């Protein structure tokens, strides 16, 4: 299994979603890129859509916390994950540095984790598909 991050058109996204309908226990999450223009906005949106647990009432998600939670996801009880960022050209449009950091972390940390590292680092950890699609 090779997890991937790739760009799609809106039509390709619809074809992808149609092909995944009824194709097993895949958790599909979509973010609206044009509504996310800063790090706090991204953390809030990803926190909500991936339903990260809140350890306390006053918990505020940090970027390191996000990286930890996105490599856990056990509460979703899924066999694989798809994250779609719609209107990717508008995503973080005012902060290309942060946008690149988020994408690089998917490529270098998150996708490799789910591809095979989870099996080496977590007792009874299981590799799962985790694919990210950037849609414009």
* Mean pLDDT rounded to a whole number for the chain: 94
CA torsion angle 54 103 33 72 (round to 10): -20
Name the DSSP class of 23.
S
Query: pLDDT tens digits for 28-71?
Result: 999 999 999 999 999 999 999 999 998 767 678 999 999 999 99
> Domains of the chain (ranges plus CATH)?
5-135 (3.40.50.300)
CA 14, 19, 22 angle in degrees (round to 5)? Answer: 120
List all residues 6 or more positions away from 88 whose beta carbon is below 8 Å from its beta carbon: 7, 33, 134, 135, 136
Beta bridge partners of 8: 135
Q: Say if pTM beats, i.e. exceeds, 0.85.
A: yes
**135 pLDDT exceeds 80?**
yes
């Amino acid at each position: 299994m090779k997890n991937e991050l790739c760009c799609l058109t809106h039509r390709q996204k619809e074809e992808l979603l149609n092909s995944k309908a009824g194709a097993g226990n895949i958790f599909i999450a979509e973010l609206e890129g044009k509504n996310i223009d800063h790090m706090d906005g991204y953390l809030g949106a990803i926190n909500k859509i991936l339903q990260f647990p809140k350890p306390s009432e006053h918990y505020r998600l940090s970027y390191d916390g996000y990286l930890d939670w996105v490599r856990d996801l056990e509460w979703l009880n899924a066999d694989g994950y798809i994250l779609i960022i719609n209107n990717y050209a508008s995503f973080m449009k005012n902060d290309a540095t942060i946008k690149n950091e988020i994408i690089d972390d998917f490529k270098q940390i998150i996708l490799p984790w789910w591809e095979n590292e989870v099996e080496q680092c977590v007792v009874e950890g299981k590799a799962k598909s985790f694919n990210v699609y950037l849609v414009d």
